[in-house]
Amino acid sequence: MSGPQDVGIRQRARGAPGGRASQAQSPISEPDDDHLAAYRARDGEGWSIEHVLETREASVGIVGVLTLLAFALRFYKINHPDQVVFDEVHFGKFAAHYIQREYYFDVHPPLTKLLFGLAGWFVGFDGTFKFESIGDSYTDAHVPYVGMRALPAMFGSLTIPVVYAIMKESGYSNVIAAFSACLILFDNAHIAQSRLILLDAPLIFFMSLTIYSYIRYRKLRYLEFSPAWWGWLLATGTFMACTWSSKVNGVLTVATIGIAVLIDLWDILDIKKGYSIEYFWKHFVARAVSLIALPITLYLLFFYIHLSVLTYSGPGDTFMSPAFQETLRDNELLMNSQEIRYYDHITIKHKDTKVFLHSHPERYPLKYDDGRISSQGQQVTGYAHDDLNNHWQIIPTKALPETGRGRIVRHEDIIQLLHVNTQTLLLTHDVASPTMPTNEEVTTWPKDDHSRYNDTLFHLRLVDANPGGSWKTKSGHFKLIHVPTKVALWTFPGQLPDWAFNQQEVNGKKEIAEKSTIWYADDILATEDGEVKSADEIGHTEPKKMNFFKKFGELQILMLQHNAGLIASHPYASGPFNWPFLVSGISFWTQNEGQKQIYLTGNLLGWLACTFGVAIFVGILGADLLARRRGVDPIPLPVRNRLWNSTGFFLLVWAVHYFPFYLMGRQLFLHHYLPSHLASALVAGSVLHFVLSETINYPISLRGPSTRPQPPQKADIGMKGPVVVAVFAVFMFGLFVYIAPLTYGTPGLTGEQVNARRLLNTWTLHFAAKKTDHV
Amino acid sequence: MKRSGSDPISLNFGTPEVSPRTSSDFEEVPYPHQSATTTTQGWHVPSREQEELPLHYMGEETARRRVTRTPGGNGVYDTHVEGPDNYDDEGKDVYAKMKAARMPVSSGRPRRPPPPPATTVSEFVQQNLEHIPPIIYTLLSCWTRFHKIGKAGVVVWDEAHFGKFGSHYLKREFYFDVHPPLGKMLVGLAGLLAGYDGSFEFKSGEAYPDTVPYVAMRVMMAMFGVAMVPLGWYTAVELGMSWRACHLVALMVLLDVGWLCISRFILLDSMLLFFTFTTVFFMTKFHNQQYQSFSFDWWMWLSLTGLSIGCVASVKWVGLFVTTLVGLYTIEDLWNKFGDLRMSTRDQCRHWGARIACLIVLPILVYMSTFKMHFLVLNHSGPGDAQMSSLFQANLVGNNFASSPLEIAIGSKVTLKNVGYGGGLLHSHVQTYPVGSSQQQVTCYHYKDDNNDWVLLPQWNEPAYDPEGPIRFLQNGDVIRLQHGPTTRNLHSHTVPAPVTKLNHEVSCYGNATIGDDKDHWVVEVVDDLKAGKKVENIHALTTRMRFRHQVLGCYLRAANAVLPQWGFKQIEVSCDKENNPADTHTFWNVESHWNSRLPPGNSKFYRSPFLRDFWHLNVAMMTSNNALIPDPDKDDILASKPTDWPFLRLGLRMCGWGDTQTKYYLLGTPLIWWGSSASLFVAFLALGVYLMRMQRKYVDMEPREWEHFLYVGKVAFFGWFLHFFPFLIMGRVTYIHHYLPTLYFAVLMLAHQLDHFIFTARRLSEKTKWIAFGVCVAAIVITFWWFKGVAFGIDGPINEHWGLQWRKTWNIYNL
């Protein structure tokens, strides 16, 4: 048990005073490269610019300038446009729901949206503006939108110093770190995405912090279980949880760290390292606590806050189960749910399409257009509006007691439904429905004609009900299974032709397990005695309680299902293959007046540099593998280790945040690549370093008590480094300014200017000038 | 851990007086080496090396590793003299020895010298005893495959497709299908051999008339199924499995009702399975020739692998998965060779060249030659014409394109064919768009139909077409109106987004013969002419490729394989592309049919269509149709299943009508085989993880050779399974349970491998235990098969009277 403390003490003992002492005695063994840089500079090896740039003071200066620039570029004209842009429609609305405390449903975890809500509340937004559609004016509605936009802009700006720090901590020189930071700093896509009420800027910020913390933690690996080690490990877990809770894509960051940790643990397990298995378990438990238990706790915590804030009924109710809905104040179920008794007159609604089960005296045509024949029975359709023809009466198929609870309709009862106006019973039979040969036609049959009694029997199956559970309006979701043929009453958004007044088709579906066969009783219009109950009579209005974990579980499953279900096509959706090459962007917002538009697209120069960086790095790794296979070692060992371990980690981040999208069926957009783009900027930086110089900063990990001192090296990228980076940054900034009107949405552009800014002909910009007749 | 002396298996190291078991060290080794010296197969060849180096000259550590255990673990000593490094035990670095075992000969079937030629009959029999079990299994499989094969005299399930395609070969009519032609040509060949004349329609569920020798055809298809059994046996042998595992593999292949059932009908699956099996067999055979590169046998098995790949891919594209398996094996093999610094550059190049020639060029040639034969046989016009280019169709017998008038004039009635790969004919029908403008739909359609006819008319602002007036030939740059024949509406476009390709304009049919506006005007832009070259002014039928530019919007008429939803009958969307990409062939059109009574018919001169272009065109069309087979959200397919349903057999498939009087076939696997094989995949993973972790902690569980073998068979089985399973998960198209049948083979190999590893070759278990385990496995498989044999042999009478078949709630075998 004394192991870690022991190490800790030794480390502390060596820490502050010892460090200084060793510097005094033998500066060459001091591993801290910042000090080393200062030392080298002091040593008078040269006061040339490239050495000055590598000092600690220069580093602080560079970070300061970059950060200031980042804030400037992200906050510039942040109030423009004063209209709802792109997905602000969703995320702004969610913030409003938090302020109003109305329950909503979304596929993404709540952290960022909570922060938006907090920001909105902080700047005095009352939540009444509902961000209904793109282009709605904020100014007219007096929404303090600038305050809300400032939050992601701040996150986006702070990402820049974090990127710089990641590179710095990984042992690259200041200039190279500045290069990577510039790739993000001057990137139009990152800027456009940060200036609006969108989830990506916080996601990317937390992701970069996760990477940063993990690198800091890795560097302390020889001082295991020291306070600093624990600190950075826990920080990694915390930021990882924040990333994951910001947006569902954050799960990829979790996977990245997971893979890195597994590799790390695999190394510790290696017997050649000479560790005991107890030691291994200690490491394992430390990581399990910090990277599994802690993040899960935080994730749950954010959901706990989410559910504690949203206690009122809202637009998200209908996604949830009735039990969940009854925990929300003012929920319709809570207010109106009542038990249904036999002979009650009710209306029945389809859960997905919200149409009433309807019938009218008109009959199905004998012959359809495609030549099939119908039974020519009375039509049964789905109808979206209130109508007397929506009324159905529940007829029992068993003996009922005179009064009392025995008359309540229960789960698994077999019932008949009587259409009140025509006094006919609902029936289905083995006749093809009007539009689907595979499904059964639904019609009705006169009440007094008992010849087809069996075909009018339906099995009432309540969803998630206990045996004998009573059927309630609103909350009692049910399926109606036809007894003889085992089909479920079903409808879908498909119109019938004119002969049914274009109402929705209702038919019997064989796949009774499908969720789309769920209906619910909307209202009781009259009981057997003909009396109508008023809403006031119905009891409890106090919300019910439900276990947090149950609520959480239900919400998680729904989020997953809906995320997978987002497959509708979108004109600006694009496949993952297009992203690294910036083949297409997304039109966020347009305004005809002044020909203004916001078009999400990156800085082409920067993106190509990043993509080239990744390609070159993969090429280097491949060449190294091939060469080593043939017994040649082209790269010196320390440099090779740096390439594989540090740049390799960046590549891992890139790959894990990129390739899973190929497997996803859901609609994908360019902004899903932004986390990967950040990783590729890191790769590009280290590739530039490798190209410029074969030297590295070494060692960068902190020495442990038992680590052998290594002769330190200093990266020297010479004068060409700063020059290359400076020239590149100038060009990037130039291109950024050139495309900026598309990023900031101002100033407006003429048709010719738009055409000129269409750097790739696959970009679909608005207001492009018509080409004159050619050919 | 130690064996008792009474154990029937004893050690024979040539120096029996010194037993390694005396060592106290020995307790630390998880598996004492107890290789049997005698085997049931009688393969015992004493190791020369073993005799030369008696154990007592070595330290215990060395002795422990001295015993080479064959991959099969069945007590066969390897006579192969390994490199000297293998027994260099100076250091205790186990990893070094692991690397030394990298030579490709270290896994697979143990080699033994060929026996001397037999001089007497009994010697010949002795030498070939090992072939007796597969012969017996083959005879048994003949029985299972042919037993009551003609029982259901009706068209069962997909016989409706493949029987029909076979008929097309006999009638030599061109048809179109999503699968490559080899399998269907073999169906046709079977029909030809059986004396079938191709006249039957193969309507689903219809009874076979006397003219159709369906039993003979089914028997010929079932032959492929019969051959699966010996292939399974020999593959297991080549993989170096113990004799018990070989028996199990053969039994499982023999007794799986899914494989049995699918082999008994006129379907492609038996051939697909057969060629999948041959590919794996040839690959393992080749693997075992690796020690003698470039020998005759080596070349033979390598090229047979290539041939087999070509065949399997020519039956169904699913064959590409097993091709990928061979590809991965080859890559690993070449990577190892690449790292072999002792190999000369010349040999390196020869290895690469051999792989490229045999595994890439040869299969492609096979694949292409099946298409060549396909085109040669099908030289008559048939139902699939419209999938092909107009020029190709002009070459088909019974097609009159070539005789239609050559030059197009205003007033001509034409059909317009999209030139792009997979393109169809410009089509319109009375149904309207449910989205956008709600005007009449315009689509691309692959079948001949009056709704493909368009009349070329002058613009609205010009005098109406006068049928008596002078003939005006259509020229480059003319502005025309395209009137849909049956509905007389005009081809129209406007700034409404198209239903699928939302960035393009919608194209619809609007107005009628008298109503219209200038958005009905299209500018004809000639691209080129396939016969006359670049610069042509007049438009010729078939050969002139042109584009239609919308005069007002400047967009181009385009159809690029985007499929409309059910409301558009899954036809191809036609839109108007705002971008002008002069190289986009999907905006190119040519006139296909041409009617104009005022013009002289063209002379039937020969339009040539190059084979390579037709080949490519047909493949793209197949690809497009394949991708269009997506699950229809509006129409749930009760037969379809999801890939996740397969490994544990969640669903079966009713292959025919389920009436009481019908013979019923239910596509279902033998549950034990499916469940067991799927479970073995998990076991393999777990075992691999545990072994790796133990290796990381320097526990030596296996000899390097054993480990190599464990990995080699595991890799073939796992990657084979994975490659045949995973793609279905991400594929958008609708999937059925029979897609798992090739996959199952690899799972079965894995099951046998795991049983082999943990039971049949385990050193800790006694021979008796192994016998018991083997007996239990065999009995369980045989009994389950017998229980379920009805689903493949055909069930008569009301299904609900057959008791006990529903082992999972989700099977729909019974009527509810």
Whether B636 sits inside 8 A of A761 (CB atoms) is: no
The DSSP secondary-structure symbol of A689 reads H
A31, pLDDT greater than 50: no
Average pLDDT over residues B286-314: 93
B374, pLDDT greater than 50: yes
Model pLDDT, residue A46: 52
A720, pLDDT greater than 90: no
Backbone angles phi, psi at B751, to 5 degrees: -60, -50
- B380 vs B605, residue with greater confidence: B380
> Which pLDDT tens digit goes with each residue over A199-229?
999 999 999 999 999 999 999 988 889 999 9
- Strand B575-577 relative to strand A596-600, pairing: unpaired
Closest residue to B816, CB basis, from A486, A509, A665: A486
Average pLDDT over residues B135-151: 93
Q: Which residues of B lie inside 8 Å of A (Cβ-Cβ)?
A: 335, 338-339, 341, 434, 497, 500, 502-503, 525, 549, 554, 579-580, 634-636, 638, 693, 696-698, 730, 732, 816
A428, pLDDT greater than 50: yes
Residues of A in contact with B497 (CB under 8 A): 571
- Please identify which residue in the block is written with the tokens 């020995």: B26
- Residue numbers of A between 398 and 457 with CB closer than 8 Å to B: 436, 438
> Which pLDDT tens digit goes with each residue over B744-802?
999 999 999 999 999 998 888 999 999 999 999 999 999 999 999 999 998 888 888 88
Nearest CA in chain B to A770: B554
Residues of B in contact with A626 (CB under 8 A): 338
Residues of B in contact with A271 (CB under 8 A): 696-698
Model pLDDT, residue B101: 40
Where do the structural domains in chain A lie, given as residue ranges?
53-306+579-757, 342-527
Q: Does A485 touch chain B (CB under 8 A)?
A: no
Model pLDDT, residue A530: 61
B87, pLDDT greater than 50: no
A376, pLDDT greater than 80: yes
B194, pLDDT greater than 50: yes
Q: How far is B188 from chain A (nearest CA, A)?
A: 33
Q: Which CATH class is domain A342-527?
A: mainly beta
Nearest CA in chain B to A271: B697
DSSP code per residue over B60-104: HHHHHHH----TT-SSPPP-PPPPGGGG--SS--HHHHHHHTTSG
Nearest to B724 by CA among B328, B335, B341: B328
B40, pLDDT greater than 60: no
A165, pLDDT greater than 60: yes
AA identity, residue B302: L
Model pLDDT, residue A397: 85
Nearest CA in chain B to A267: B696
Q: How many CA atoms lie within 13 A of B756 on its CB side?
A: 29
Where is average pLDDT lowest: A68-72, A501-505, A508-512, B364-368? A508-512
Model pLDDT, residue B563: 81
Where is average pLDDT lowest: A703-712, B366-375, B590-599? A703-712
Residue A41, C-beta contacts closer than 8 angstroms, at least 6 positions apart:
A47, A51, A52, A54, A55
B221, pLDDT greater than 70: yes
CA distance A328 to A310: 8
Give, in order, the Cα–Cα distances in Å from B391 to each of A589, B217, B394, B449, B624.
48, 35, 5, 19, 20
Q: Which of B335, B697, B726, B814 to mutate to test the interface with A (most CBs of A within 10 A)?
A: B697
Whether A569 sits inside 8 A of B502 (CB atoms) is: yes
pTM: 0.79
B112, pLDDT greater than 90: no
Whether A631 sits inside 8 A of B341 (CB atoms) is: yes
Judge whether A473 and A524 are in contact, CB under 8 Å: yes
Judge whether A757 and A741 are in contact, CB under 8 Å: yes
Average pLDDT over residues B425-430: 89
Model pLDDT, residue B242: 92
Give, in order, the Cα–Cα distances in Å from B710 to each of B362, B530, B714.
31, 59, 6
Model pLDDT, residue A538: 52
Q: What's chain A's average pLDDT?
A: 85
Q: What is the end-to-end Cα distance of chain B in Å, rounded?
A: 55
Where do the structural domains in chain B lie, given as residue ranges?
37-104, 404-608
Q: What's chain B's average pLDDT?
A: 82
Neighbours of A602 (CB within 10 A): 30
> Which pLDDT tens digit goes with each residue over B516-536?
888 889 999 888 887 777 667
Nearest CA in chain A to B730: A663
Nearest to B323 by CA among B315, B314, B312: B312
CA distance A178 to A171: 13
Nearest to B34 by CA among B584, B761, B752, B809: B761
Q: How far is A409 from chain B (nearest CA, A)?
A: 25
Whether B696 sits inside 8 A of A438 (CB atoms) is: no
Model pLDDT, residue A771: 55
CA distance A560 to A554: 10
Whether A270 sits inside 8 A of B554 (CB atoms) is: no
Where is average pLDDT lowest: A471-475, A689-693, B715-719, B733-737? A471-475
Whether A626 sits inside 8 A of B693 (CB atoms) is: no
Q: Does A368 touch chain B (CB under 8 A)?
A: no
User: Where would I find the beta strands (DSSP E) of B542-671?
Assistant: 544-550, 556-558, 572-573, 575-577, 589-595, 653-654, 666-667
Give, in order, the Cα–Cα distances in Å from A756 to each of A587, A605, A751.
17, 16, 9
Model pLDDT, residue B24: 40
Inter-chain CB pairs, A–B, below 8 Å: 49
Residues of A in contact with B696 (CB under 8 A): 266, 269-271
Residues of A in contact with B636 (CB under 8 A): 438, 509-511, 514
B632 pLDDT band, cuts 50/70/90, is low
Nearest CA in chain A to B335: A629
Whether A775 sits inside 8 A of B693 (CB atoms) is: no
Give, in order, the Cα–Cα distances in Å from A759 to each of A1, A740, A749, A774, B274.
63, 13, 15, 21, 54
Out of A345-349, A548-552, B340-344, B751-755, give the one with best mean pLDDT.
B751-755
Residue B615, C-beta contacts closer than 8 angstroms, at least 6 positions apart:
B368, B371, B372
B21, pLDDT greater than 60: no
Sign (positive or negative) of CA dihedral B203, B208, B210, B216:
positive
Q: Does A569 touch chain B (CB under 8 A)?
A: yes
A681 pLDDT band, cuts 50/70/90, is very high
The DSSP secondary-structure symbol of B661 reads T
Model pLDDT, residue B629: 74
> Which pLDDT tens digit goes with each residue over A377-419?
899 988 888 888 888 988 888 888 877 777 888 888 888 889 9
Q: What percent of chain A stands above pLDDT 90?
A: 36
Whether B335 sits inside 8 A of A509 (CB atoms) is: no
B803, pLDDT greater than 90: no
Q: How far is A671 from chain B (nearest CA, A)?
A: 19
> Which pLDDT tens digit goes with each residue over B691-725?
999 998 888 888 888 899 999 999 999 999 999 99
Out of A544-553, B629-638, B713-722, give the one with best mean pLDDT.
B713-722
Burial B712-745 (b: 16+ CB within 10 A, else e): bbbebbbbbbbbbbeebeeeeeebbbbbbbbbbb
Nearest CA in chain A to B639: A511
Nearest to B707 by CA among B102, B46, B36: B102
Closest residue to B502, CB basis, from A266, A492, A571: A571
- Residue numbers of A between 576 and 635 with CB closer than 8 Å to B: 626, 629-631
Where is average pLDDT lowest: A706-715, B225-234, B437-446, B616-625? A706-715
Nearest to A550 by CA among A326, A251, A339: A326
Q: How far is B634 from chain A (nearest CA, A)?
A: 8
Residues of B in contact with A486 (CB under 8 A): 816
Average pLDDT over residues B270-294: 93
Residues of B in contact with A629 (CB under 8 A): 335, 338-339
CA distance A368 to A24: 97
Chain-centroid distance, C-alpha B536: 45
Tokens read off for B796: 């008569």
Whether A270 sits inside 8 A of B816 (CB atoms) is: no
Nearest CA in chain B to A280: B697
> Which pLDDT tens digit goes with each residue over A241-291?
999 999 998 999 999 999 999 999 999 998 888 888 899 999 999 999 999
Residues of B in contact with A630 (CB under 8 A): 338-339, 341
Whether B696 sits inside 8 A of A270 (CB atoms) is: yes
Q: Does A21 touch chain B (CB under 8 A)?
A: no
The DSSP secondary-structure symbol of B206 reads P
Q: Which of B696, B810, B814 to mutate to test the interface with A (most CBs of A within 10 A)?
A: B696
Residues of A in contact with B500 (CB under 8 A): 569
CA distance A113 to A124: 16
Q: Which of A491, A629, A667 to mutate to test the interface with B (most CBs of B within 10 A)?
A: A629
Tokens read off for A118: 């907090």
Model pLDDT, residue A1: 38
B104 pLDDT band, cuts 50/70/90, is very low
Closest residue to B636, CB basis, from A511, A663, A770: A511
> Which pLDDT tens digit goes with each residue over B456-489?
888 888 888 888 888 888 888 888 889 998 888 8
Whether A271 sits inside 8 A of B696 (CB atoms) is: yes
Q: Does A513 touch chain B (CB under 8 A)?
A: no
Whether A771 sits inside 8 A of B693 (CB atoms) is: no
Q: Does A571 touch chain B (CB under 8 A)?
A: yes
B222 pLDDT band, cuts 50/70/90, is very high
- B408 vs A297, residue with greater confidence: A297
A519, pLDDT greater than 50: yes
- Strand B556-558 relative to strand A458-462, pairing: unpaired
Q: What is the CATH number of domain B404-608?
A: 2.80.10.50
